């Protein structure tokens, strides 16, 4: 048995773990990284990268180009292969990280074992991410069910794809496959895109229905059967039969096999129980980041958490996570992006203090010029400061950045309205929303009009 002593032992080579490993090693810490599966984690191999690559092929098909299904999958594989060297064992070893390709498991509050190696560390980081949740639906064990970990390897085009789950992953994959020539039915137990602003989410759902995606809501899957190469999903609203099934109902955090009890680390089905410093509530040597920390499940959150851990574990500086400024995007066409509170959440939290500023892409000259006028923006404002923003439309994931910055830095709406933007750009919709917030105060105020008349009377 080999024994190692190190400053920092990181379990998991996904976005959060790699960011911490690279930063810590370059800052002079002794770092050991454990990864039993693929470097880059879910995002590179099964999530963000392959899904956006497939969506891009779907966009080409929607624009009239001929895209063969297997060629689309080649593009997905190429995208992963192009990015993979940045996350590779070789790169991190060059940075000075000791990478052990084996499963890590705590054997005490201060030690982790990976294969024949025992690592004792000053600090540990659990960065094991999450995997697809496959619920115990009656009959599911006898049926071939795809998840995000297998769907991108499927090279033969599904004749009819049944997507169980109408959240962001389900809707992205539904549109991509529909545009690549598949018949698609989405089966959702409650409301499709139910965590997003209902008004603007409806814009996305209407587009998908217009493209031929069947969306069945309020229909929990009760039983799944397979016969003669056809799969049937039984729901309270009827039976739906297709050639393939994609399960997209959520994620399950990967912490069950880590031996957390041996380390005295409290956890539950959401992940490691942490404080707002991302430290374990029961073992201060242990941090958790990303999905393993039990909060928002986004790659960029794991990267954000990495910065907090580096400040705390390496520099000894106070650092706490916040969530009110975290943006996210559903990369359908049109895109749907959110930061902070939705309108419904803001009304519940702030009542009559809430004002909603809005604008539509139909009033944006760049959108008109490119024929992309579907959608708009809502900004939730309290006492002159944005507390949330929702955008549906072209490049919504890019446009939400301005509001993410504003909310993170407690900026006022005037900071947006005072910003000069190049013309014509989609980004002008952000400034238009801010202008619409101030408009009534300037143009509908009797006081302002009286002041202007007085000033005009006395100006030389």
* Identical fold between 2-39+88-132+252-314 and 140-250: yes
| Euclidean distance between CA atoms 41 and 47, whole angstroms | 9
Query: Which of the 8 DSSP states describes residue 47?
Result: S
Q: What percent of the chain has pLDDT over 70?
A: 99
Are 385 and 414 contacting, i.e. CB atoms less than 8 angstroms apart?
no
Mean pLDDT value across the chain? 96
Q: Does 442 have pLDDT greater than 70?
A: no
| pLDDT (tens digit per residue) in 415-430 | 999 999 999 999 999 9
**What is the predicted pLDDT for the residue at 344?**
97
119-133, 323-337, 432-446: least confident range: 432-446
User: How would residue 136 be classed by pLDDT, with cut points 50, 70 and 90?
Assistant: very high
**Average pLDDT, integer, range 43-62:** 97
Distances (CA, A) of 210 to 60, 205, 381: 18, 9, 33
**What is the predicted pLDDT for the residue at 447?**
77
**Average pLDDT, integer, range 48-68:** 97
Distance of CA 360 to the CA centre of its chain: 25
User: How would residue 267 be classed by pLDDT, with cut points 50, 70 and 90?
Assistant: very high
Distances (CA, A) of 373 to 179, 359, 395, 404: 20, 11, 12, 23
User: How would residue 460 be classed by pLDDT, with cut points 50, 70 and 90?
Assistant: confident
Q: Does 448 have pLDDT greater than 80?
A: no
User: How would residue 104 be classed by pLDDT, with cut points 50, 70 and 90?
Assistant: very high
**What is the predicted pLDDT for the residue at 443?**
66
Tokens 């984690």 — which residue?
Answer: 41
**What is the predicted pLDDT for the residue at 43?**
95
Classify domain 327-443 at the CATH superfamily level.
FAD/NAD-linked reductase, C-terminal dimerisation domain (3.30.390.30)
Q: What percent of the chain has pLDDT over 90?
A: 95
Q: Does 5 have pLDDT greater than 70?
A: yes
Q: Does 450 have pLDDT greater than 90?
A: no
| Euclidean distance between CA atoms 313 and 21, whole angstroms | 12
**Average pLDDT, integer, range 326-352:** 97
**Average pLDDT, integer, range 100-127:** 97
Q: What is the CATH number of domain 140-250?
A: 3.50.50.60
User: How would residue 441 be classed by pLDDT, with cut points 50, 70 and 90?
Assistant: confident
Tokens of 385: 């400061």
Q: Does 311 have pLDDT greater than 90?
A: yes
| Euclidean distance between CA atoms 94 and 65, whole angstroms | 42
Burial of 141 (0-12, 13-18, 19+ CB in 10 A): exposed
Contacts of 433 (CB under 8 A, 6+ apart): 357, 358, 359, 377, 378, 379, 416
Domain coordinates in residue numbering, the chain: 2-39+88-132+252-314, 140-250, 327-443
Architecture of the domain defined by 2-39+88-132+252-314:
3-Layer(bba) Sandwich (3.50)
**Average pLDDT, integer, range 311-332:** 95
Q: Does 75 have pLDDT greater than 80?
A: yes
Tokens of 264: 């005295």
DSSP-assigned letters across all residues of 281-294:
SS-TTEEE-GGGGT
Dmax (CA) for the chain in angstroms is 91
Q: Does 181 have pLDDT greater than 70?
A: yes
Question: Phi and psi dihedrals of 124, rounded to 5?
Answer: -125, 150
């Amino acid at each position: 048995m080999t024994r190692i002593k190190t400053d920092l032992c990181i379990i998991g080579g996904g976005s959060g773990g790699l960011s911490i490993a690279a930063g810590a090693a370059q800052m002079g810490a002794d770092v050991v990284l454990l990864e039993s599966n693929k470097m880059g984690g879910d995002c590179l191999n099964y999530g963000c990268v392959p899904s956006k690559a497939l969506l891009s092929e779907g966009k080409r098909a929607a624009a009239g180009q001929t895209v063969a299904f297997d060629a689309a999958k080649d593009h997905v594989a190429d995208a992963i292969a192009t990015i993979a060297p940045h996350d590779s064992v070789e790169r991190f070893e060059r940075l000075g990280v000791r990478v052990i390709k084996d499963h890590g498991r705590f054997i005490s509050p201060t030690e982790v074992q990976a294969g024949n190696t025992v690592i004792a560390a000053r600090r540990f980081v659990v960065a094991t991410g999450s995997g697809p949740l496959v619920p115990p639906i009656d009959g599911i064990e006898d049926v071939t069910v795809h998840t995000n970990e297998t769907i991108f390897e499927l090279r033969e085009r599904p004749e009819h794809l049944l997507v169980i789950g109408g959240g962001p992953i389900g809707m992205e994959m539904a549109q991509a496959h529909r545009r690549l020539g598949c018949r698609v039915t989405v089966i959702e137990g409650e409301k499709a895109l139910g965590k997003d602003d209902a008004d603007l989410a409806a814009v996305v759902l209407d587009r998908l229905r217009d493209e031929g995606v069947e969306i069945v809501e309020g229909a929990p899957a009760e039983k799944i059967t397979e016969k003669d190469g056809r799969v049937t999903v039984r729901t309270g609203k009827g039976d739906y039969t297709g050639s393939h099934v994609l399960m997209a109902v959520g994620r399950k955090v990967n912490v069950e096999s880590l031996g957390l009890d041996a380390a005295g680390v409290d956890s539950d089905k959401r992940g490691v129980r942490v404080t707002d410093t991302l430290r374990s509530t029961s073992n201060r040597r242990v941090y958790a980041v990303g999905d393993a920390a039990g909060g928002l499940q986004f790659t960029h959150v794991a990267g954000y958490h990495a910065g907090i851990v580096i400040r705390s574990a390496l520099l000894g500086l106070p650092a706490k996570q916040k969530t009110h400024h975290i943006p996210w995007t559903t990369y359908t066409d049109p895109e749907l992006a959110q930061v902070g509170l939705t309108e419904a959440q803001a009304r519940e939290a702030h009542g009559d203090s809430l004002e909603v500023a809005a604008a539509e892409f139909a009033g944006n000259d760049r959108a008109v010029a490119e024929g992309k006028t579907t959608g708009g923006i809502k900004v939730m404002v309290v006492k002159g400061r944005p507390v949330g923003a929702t955008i549906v439309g072209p490049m919504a994931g890019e446009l939400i950045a301005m509001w993410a910055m504003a909310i993170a830095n407690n900026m006022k709406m005037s900071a947006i309205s005072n910003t000069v933007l190049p013309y014509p750009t989609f980004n002008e919709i952000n400034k238009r929303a801010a202008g619409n917030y101030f408009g009534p105060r300037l143009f509908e105020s009797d006081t302002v009009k009286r002041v202007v008349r007085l000033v005009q009377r006395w100006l030389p």
